[in-house]
Each structure stands twice: as C-alpha cells, then as structure tokens.
C-alpha cells in the first residue's frame, strides 16, 4: 500500500480518516483495510479521540467497493492469499459495528460494496445529495457481502432483498428512508460539519445543526416509500421463483408496472447462481447476529472464489469490458438448490475468527 491511499490524523477531538484514491473511486485495497483496522484499535484507547470521522477525497465517490481486479488477478495466479483480503475486511466490518465510540461516515457520492462495509455499520451514516448506494455484486458473479447478510434483511419492506437481487440504486432520499443513512446533509456543508465534529461536539449535537430532511433538500418523498407495500409483497415471497413470478404479474399492470419490469430485467441480467445465492443468504441472515453473518459470508466467499461466475463477471465488466458474461448455469431455473447450499458449508480452512 502506498502511504497516501488512506490518511489519518487527530484533529481536535476526532480521529479523521480520509480514503484517498479518488481516481480509483476510493476502492479499498487490502492495505487500506488493515491500516484502518489498526488505527481504529489505536484510537479506541486514545482519550483525545472522542469520535471517528471517515470521509473520502474527490466528489464522485465515497468508496465504490473493493479492489476487485486485484482479487481477480490473484485468482488467475492461484494465489492462496486471495481470501485473506476478505477475512481482514470482514473483521474490520465487525470492528466498526462494535466500535465503542461514535463512528461517523460522511458519504458523498457513490457508495458500493466495500464502501458500504466501512460506512453502514457505523453509528452515524451521513449522506449528501450526491449519495448513490448500491450493492451490485450479483452483476459480477459475486454476492452482497461486507455485512449485507445482516443489514439488507433488516431494511424496511424488503428493500434490502430488492437491492441484493437487482442491484437497485438508492439516492439520498431512498437511502435515508431505508435506513442506509441516518442523516442527510448538503455537500456544501461537509467541511463545516467536519469542523464541528472535530471541535468536540457529540455527533448528535453537531449533526442537529446541519441535518436536513429530504424535503429540505428538494428531493421530496422517497420514491421507494410510494411503492413500499408492493416491494414488501413481491420481495417477501418465500422462494426466488415466487419473487420472479410476482414481478411478472406486477409488470403487466398499474403504476408499479414499469418499476417491476425494470427489476425483473435487472435480475435476469445477473449471474443466476449469484441471484439464487443472495436470496438464500439474506433469508438466513435475517435470523443471525452480526458475527454469525460475517462467518457465513466468509464461508460463501471461500467457495465462490473457487467457482466460475465471479471470474467471468469480472472479466466481462472490468477486464475485457464487453459486458457480455457467459454465466454457468445460464438461467435461474437451472440453478440447483443443493449447489446453493454448498456455499454455506464449512470451508477447508475453517470458519472466520471474529
């Protein structure tokens, strides 16, 4: 890791973290993950640090995920250290979830994958009008990890299941309504808010002066709120097959028809294995505590890195960029339930120690 990929400083009474890879949309490298974990542990014992504030350089992205190309290359080279990135990332997610001091993520721009993992588990998730949340993993033959097993099933009205299966994008108003964000602010207030947090005010007090409602920000009612009942009914079905059938039924009628058609088309464009896996993953995660969810994710990733679709998805989207992945199997109906259950079995190296 180059020293400037992630920056740390104690400013006033805050430990200030800056994700500093703007040209790479601040995607997390393994070095960034381990450096953040070490610094959080150090600041846990530092009396001067009353809260941790995480922000990112640039205006496009808070963090658009992990360094997936690096993981792909390691897989091609049969590097046994490949899974270590995920082990350390998942431990970091637990560390953030259980952190004893306020952890404030200033989410300005795109937040996906690994970026969700270093924000959504914090006590305060503050998003601007440029916030765009998504869990797009099924589109590269992966699965919604970094704690998605825990937080996605707990989003209201099955919106987390929708996000997991279709990679739906939530802007500020939807993310606030769904609980991905705890507060909304304007991007122009971020510097002043950061100063207030560093000057020693409790995050709740500092945010009270800057937080805005979606209406204040001109976003109006969250679009998802208007179809909450339909989303809950469709994505709350007991099987993936029933979800798809419900979407097909809604697609042909009423005000929700266009929304359902887009969801259906998006799901069918993803890896069939990943879609089926994500459905089963979230259903299991709804009944597990956070640590158990992270152990489950480690089991899944240990198996998925030995399969086909992840490498084919990364090839199509990131390496060759032809956006024409050839999934195996190619249809959701061809995915066997016993094959999906295999992803939840104990890997050769044992469970993640969290």
Whether 16 contacts 40, CB under 8 Å: no
**Using CA atoms, how far apart are residues 202 and 196, in angstroms rounded to an integer?**
9
Coil, strand or helix: which one is 180?
coil
Secondary structure of 119-150 as H, E, C letters: CCCCCEEEECCCCEEECCHHHHCCCCCCCHHH
Active-site option among 89, 108, 129, 137: 137
Residue 137 annotated in active site: yes
DSSP classification of residue 8: E
Active-site option among 15, 65, 66, 313: 66
β-bridge pairing 6-11 and 51-56: unpaired
Residue 199 annotated in active site: no
Active-site option among 145, 256, 309, 312: 145
- Listing DSSP states for 101-125 in one string gives S-EEEEE-SEEETHHHHTTTTSSEE
Q: How many CB atoms lie within 10 A of CB 301?
A: 25
Residue 66 annotated in active site: yes
Q: What angle is formed at CA 134 by the lines to CA 131 and CA 138, rounded to 5 degrees?
A: 165
Active-site option among 65, 109, 113, 114: 114
Residue 311's nearest CA partner among 33, 25, 77 is: 77
- Counting every residue written for the chain, the total comes to 354
242 Cβ neighbours under 8 A, 6+ residues apart: none
CA 306 vs. chain centroid, Å, equals: 22
DSSP classification of residue 218: T
Q: Annotated active-site positions, please?
A: 66, 114, 137, 145
């Amino acid at each position: 890791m180059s020293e400037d990929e992630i920056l740390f400083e104690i400013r006033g009474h805050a430990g200030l973290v800056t994700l500093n890879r703007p040209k790479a949309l601040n995607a997390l490298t393994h070095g960034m993950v381990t450096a953040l974990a070490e610094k959080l542990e150090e600041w846990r014992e530092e009396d001067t640090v009353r809260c941790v504030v995480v922000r990112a350089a640039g205006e496009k992205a808070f963090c658009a995920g992990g360094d997936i190309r690096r993981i792909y290359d390691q897989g091609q080279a049969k590097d046994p250290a490949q899974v270590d990135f995920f082990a350390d990332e998942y431990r970091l997610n637990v560390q953030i979830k259980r952190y004893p001091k306020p952890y404030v993520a200033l989410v300005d721009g795109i937040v996906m994958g690994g970026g969700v993992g270093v924000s959504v588990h914090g006590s305060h998730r503050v998003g601007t009008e440029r916030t765009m949340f998504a869990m797009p993993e099924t589109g590269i033959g992966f699965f919604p990890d970094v704690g998605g097993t825990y937080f996605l099933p707990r989003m209201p009205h099955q919106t987390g299941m929708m996000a997991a299966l279709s990679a739906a994008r939530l802007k500020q108003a939807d993310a606030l309504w769904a609980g991905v964000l705890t507060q909304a602010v304007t991007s122009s207030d971020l510097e002043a808010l950061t100063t207030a947090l560093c000057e020693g005010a409790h995050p709740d007090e500092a945010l009270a002066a800057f937080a805005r409602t979606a209406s204040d920000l001109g976003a109006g009612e969250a679009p998802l709120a208007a179809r909450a009942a339909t989303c809950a009914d469709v994505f709350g079905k007991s099987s993936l097959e029933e979800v798809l059938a419900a979407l097909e039924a809604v697609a042909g009628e009423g005000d929700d028809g266009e929304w359902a058609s887009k969801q259906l088309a998006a799901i069918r464009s993803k890896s069939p294995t990943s879609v089926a896996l994500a459905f089963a993953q979230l259903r299991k995660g709804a009944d597990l505590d956070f640590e158990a969810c992270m152990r489950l994710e480690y089991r899944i990733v240990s198996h998925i890195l030995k399969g086909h679709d992840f490498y084919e998805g990364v090839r199509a989207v990131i390496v060759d960029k032809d956006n024409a992945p050839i999934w195996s199997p190619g249809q959701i109906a061809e995915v066997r339930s016993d094959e999906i259950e295999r992803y939840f079995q104990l890997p050769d190296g044992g469970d993640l120690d969290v």
